[in-house]
Amino acid sequence: DGGITQSPKYLFRKEGQNVTLSCEQNLNHDAMYWYRQDPGQGLRLIYYSQIVNDFQKGDIAEGYSVSREKKESFPLTVTSAQKNPTAFYLCASSPQGTGHQPQHFGDGTRLSIL
């Protein structure tokens, strides 16, 4: 079955540590996204990528970095510069250039501070 796989499901970060969240999709989608979800708030866009080797900052990119070396993979690194990283992180993908197609989401990674 095609889908999006995020790992790990739960992640703990120590002060000053960088951590990387994995996102892999086998849907052959061109576009991939990272969102952050906090209690009582909507999904906020961190980064998105329309094609391999290209990505753009979303609304809350500070303290995060991404790479898109392969079509299937879009890892997110939460750096030590992100002072409030505790949140639920969702990765999504969609076909390129088809506005009516919904985004498909992974099951999320819950990040907490130790």
Partner 1 sequence: GQNIDQPTEMTATEGAIVQINCTYQTSGFNGLFWYQQHAGEAPTFLSYNVLDGLEEKGRFSSFLSRSKGYSYLLLKELQMKDSASYLCAVRDTGGFKTIFGAGTRLFVKA
Residues in touch with partner 1 (CB under 8 A): 31, 35, 40-45, 48, 50, 58, 88, 90, 94, 97-100, 102-108, 110
**How buried is residue 82: exposed, middle or buried, by Cβ count under 10 Å (0-12/13-18/19+)?**
buried
Give 16 or 97: the residue with its C-beta nearer to partner 1: 97
Per DSSP, the chain holds a count of helices (H) and strands (E) of 0, 11
How far apart, in whole angstroms, are the C-alpha atoms of residue 85 and residue 13? Answer: 9
Give 75 or 108: the residue with its C-beta nearer to partner 1: 108
Residue that is written with structure tokens 């390129």 in the block: 96
Residue 16 CB, nearest approach to partner 1 (Å):
28
Give 17 or 28: the residue with its C-beta nearer to partner 1: 28
Residue 31 CB, nearest approach to partner 1 (Å):
6
